[in-house]
Amino acid sequence: MNTAGAPFARIVVGVDGSEPSIEALRQAQRLALPLGAKVLANAYWDYPQVYAGYVMVGIEGFEERAGQILDEAVRTAFGDETPSNVVTNLVRGHPRDALIEATRDADLVVVGRRGHGGFGGLLLGSVSSALVAHAHCPVLVVHTPDERS
């Protein structure tokens, strides 16, 4: 949590490479600048579940690909120069659970609205919904610019 005396010291952003998550990065930075806050751009990855006696072929490379997606998203959001207050983190774990855990030490969490899982009519995706229900800090769910109109 905030120990520096500023209203917000740490803003965590869930980054998955989607346009909504890139917009979440941009919005977090817009909020962070006047507040003097750090933006923690977190990408989450994990190995798929493997059942006893069944080994999947081609399960390597998840961490590397998640790192590439994170780098590409930050570059898309900010160009070639990442702002000095933006820190990227590659975290092993399920996005929902790991983001909820990250809210314990955050002042704000920002995520993009996906909402296109198995049910097209859902307003929030499963990760966004879980954060809204279980986060330990305020949550901002960001729409992409074309979704707002």
Q: 95-134: per-residue pLDDT in tens?
A: 899 999 999 999 999 999 874 444 444 444 688 889 999 9
Indicate whether 31 pLDDT > 50: yes
Residue 101 lies in a domain: yes
Residues 6+ positions from 144 with CB-CB distance below 8 Å: 19, 20, 23, 112, 113
pTM: 0.82
Token pair 């750090």 is found at: 38
Residue 4 lies in a domain: no
Domain that holds residue 97: 10-147
Please give the pLDDT value at position 120: 41
Q: How many domains is the chain built from? A: 1
Residue 1 lies in a domain: no
Residue 95 lies in a domain: yes
Please give the pLDDT value at position 43: 94
Average pLDDT, the chain: 83
Residue 5 lies in a domain: no
What is d(CA 102, CA 126) in angstroms, rounded to the nearest whole number? Answer: 17
**CATH code, domain carrying 125:** 3.40.50.620
Residue 129 lies in a domain: yes
DSSP code per residue over 106-132: -SEEEEE----SS-TT-SS-HHHHHHH
